[in-house]
Amino acid sequence: MTTATPEEARSQIVNLVRDFVRRDVEPVAAKLDREDIVPFDLIDKMKDLGLFGITVPEEYGGLGLDYTTFASIFEELSKGFMSISGAIGTHHILTYMLAHYGTEEQKNRFLPDLASGKKRGGLALTEPSGGTDVANLQTTAVKDGEEYIINGTKSFITNGRYGDAFCLLARTDKNAEPNHKGISAFIVEKGDPGFRVGRDLDKMGYRGLDTCELIFEDFRIPAENLIGGEEGRGFGQVMSGLETGRINIAARAVGVAQAAFNAAIRYSQQRETFGVPISQHQAIQLKLADMATKIQAARLLTYDAAGKKDRGERVDLEAGMAKLFASEMCQEVTLDAMRIHGGYGFIKDSPVERYYRDAPLMIIGEGTNEILRVLIARQLLRRPEYQI
């Protein structure tokens, strides 16, 4: 019996995901978006495909696949309905942090259920008073014997209502200098009245997925839920996890842009003006050429970052560049797709209207593009080849 090569394994799982999207997701995407319905049946099918454990090591019940495959899966899901990828987005940041920084006991306790989808995870990072400025978060975790007492509020939390376990960042040392040295990461699970879900957030796009506030009031968790068992490591741990998050956001942007382009090029060959399809007009041809070129450039940046992650290289710069370029590209391409459709692109019956509303999520999510530009510049200025 022969073992599939990594390329063959990647092709098999990506083809399965592509078939799932075409068969099960695309026919209901408009309804899910319009009515803001969380598709539990589709999430169950994603569990059956193993998508909750894409990169989780096989010994903990996951597929153990590489980040190139990870990016391909997010691209394919987002072509059909970008929100469906959100069910596994921050879930994978949680599994990444456990797999890379958790104790062996934590891995054995949490990863099998997360990999199977029995438990759905998320990232409790953003707060009402600040999002990108993680180092100044206000949620606290105070040690009390063999427990920590958590107090604070998290906002914009994907999977907040229907998720089960979250990676929570909280301040364990108020006097640490610099600030980020006082931040620790914990696994928190629902089930105690001190941890409750607040309001659901009504979003412009990224609909069909629960996004909520999480409120912690004297919520006690066992000390063994401190990821890695050591305080003050949370900031670095989550920044590493966000590298993979930015790869998945970039891949989502490529997927949405590709879907918008596909719709636009098909429509341009069907719609006629002045006796010919509008695809014969040079103004439309120029748009199509620019759209396709931008998508391919973003795709190459995304898979370059994923490939470097697979090789164990540092990718904070590359993942940031991929997310920055791909997300801005997605906004431009979805707008151009709408313009090619004319009035038909402006009504709810057209999927390009949804693509256009979904695109800003990639610009804002996993670090706004404004802060990413600053981080990219700082990384470049640290590189020895640019020193004078």
Placement of tokens 């104790």 in the chain: 103
R_g over Cα of the chain: 21
Long-range contacts of residues 263-267, Cβ cutoff 8 Å, at least 24 apart: 263/337, 263/341, 263/350, 263/351, 263/352, 263/355, 264/288, 264/291, 264/336, 264/337, 264/340, 264/341, 264/352, 267/340, 267/341, 267/344
104 labelled catalytic: no
> Please, what sign has the CA dihedral across residues 240, 161, 365, 150?
negative
Q: Whose CA is closest to 212, among 169, 170, 154, 167? A: 154
**How many other β-carbons are positioned within 10 Å of the β-carbon of residue 61?**
18
Catalytic residue among 147, 328, 366, 370: 366
Cross-strand pairs, 214:
154, 197
Active site residues: 366
